[in-house]
Amino acid sequence: MKYTISKQVDEIVKNHLETIKRIILENCNPRAIILFGSYGKGEGTILNNQPFNDYDIYLVEDKKRNDKFYEDLGKKSSKAIGFGGEEFVETQNESYDKNRFFHVDIRGLNYNKLHKLKKTTRTFEIKYASQILYGEDVRSKINIQESDISLSEAWRHAINKSCLLLLSMNKERFNGNFKKDEKLIAAYYSIKTFLACCEMLLILKNRFKGTYQERNRLFKELYSKEFPDLVKKIDFATKLKLNLEMTKIKDVVKFWKEARDTLYFTIYLLAKTLGIEEKDKLKLMHEIYMKLPFEYFDPYLPSHKLYPLQYLLNLKYYLRTKHFKTLTSWRDPGIRVIFPAFLLLYAIESNEEFQKLLPEIYCYLHKLAPIEEDTFEDYRKAALYAYGKYYTQKLI
């Protein structure tokens, strides 16, 4: 099997996966074990001739188990191959360590419900860009085509990448003071943001592909004349995703800012589908806040009129956080978190910019998380707390 662009690293990955497979089979009897994500695509990231970041695995069973079972199995597998098994997304002020945060992400799928999987980019990749490590090849039971992927998926990528960019950068790093492996994660999440922008703009054209390299080729085909500079950036990011050569990034903070600005531009283009033409970031976020929650869940609900059901996600979020104020809004916390996170990506520039954006950031954020003081770092911590609490539910 091919996991990366390097035969040498493929051998390391193969040995890791054999250990992970053994541990899984000692603890359960799945119908299939699927390698998903970058390594499932054959495009796993290489860093100094070693695998980097994580392995994504699905267990297909007759009955899906509770999340704790999969989390414990993932941590046990991570430890067995010599890594910490922690998830960086669950932290707010931690310094990044590539060994501590290399993890095995294990999730479950119900064998009898494979044909009912949501029409997401994740489902598309499971079907068309994954590898069977054990058992039955169940991918034929999954029903999805590229035309099934909705704009809601593009918005989900926008939300995730706004938060991950914020996670990878604080004031100290922005001013050039990086510790341990912090430059790595800032570069990596910037790369992932460029690639997510590629995905979002492909979805905007009602197109999609399973692997990074296929998307890169399709993006060139569709956007070379319209956005030639962006095509070059996506191509550069795609190559770096395959082999993270840090020497090719001369200035990590500048690279991060380019990723942030590309995300801004992409969100602006997505907003046009909601009838929004606003370019000013404050007004743009407000318009999206007013319109997106009415549209976002359409692909996942039997009727548009059922959009108020997203309030149930507020209840779930409250049970995890005990933050009562979240219950005073009907909008999904998973949507609402993009607004403070995105604005904080620009508030980091200076105290003047932070003060300018602060009133709007507060309006979005105080109903999602407790805020200790009116400082950038406290607001960043609150936004990442909200993101971590919501997205570690692994709803999609």
Query: Per the structure block, which two tokens stand in for 224?
Result: 């070379």
Reported confidence tier of residue 304, pLDDT bands at 50, 70, 90: confident
**Contact 207/218 with Cβ under 8 angstroms?**
yes
Reported confidence tier of residue 383, pLDDT bands at 50, 70, 90: very high
Q: What percent of the chain has pLDDT over 70?
A: 99
Reported confidence tier of residue 340, pLDDT bands at 50, 70, 90: very high
Q: How much is the pLDDT for 395? A: 56
- pLDDT of residue 396 exceeding 70, the answer is no
When comparing pLDDT for 216 and 390, which is higher?
216
Nearest partner of 35 among 53, 47, 17, judged by Cα: 17
Match 């799928």 to its residue by tokens. 109
Mean pLDDT, to the nearest integer, of 52-64?
A: 96
Mean pLDDT, to the nearest integer, of 353-360?
A: 97
Residue 149 phi, psi (nearest 5): -80, 125
- pLDDT of residue 52 exceeding 70, the answer is yes
Q: How much is the pLDDT for 89? A: 82
Work out the angle between the directed axes of helices 252-271 and 281-295 (0-180°, nearest 10).
50
**Contact 210/128 with Cβ under 8 angstroms?**
yes
- pLDDT of residue 300 exceeding 90, the answer is no
Mean pLDDT, to the nearest integer, of 339-357?
A: 98
When comparing pLDDT for 160 and 302, which is higher?
160
Per DSSP, which regions of the chain are E strands?
32-36, 46-47, 50-51, 54-61, 103-110, 131-135
Look over the chain and give the mean of its residue pLDDT values, rounded to a whole number.
96
Q: How much is the pLDDT for 93? A: 75
pLDDT in tens, 192-236: 999 999 999 999 999 999 999 999 999 999 999 999 999 999 999
Mean pLDDT, to the nearest integer, of 261-268?
A: 98
Q: How much is the pLDDT for 170? A: 96
Sequence spans of domains, the chain: 7-142, 148-391
Superfamily (CATH H level) for 7-142: Beta Polymerase, domain 2 (3.30.460.10)
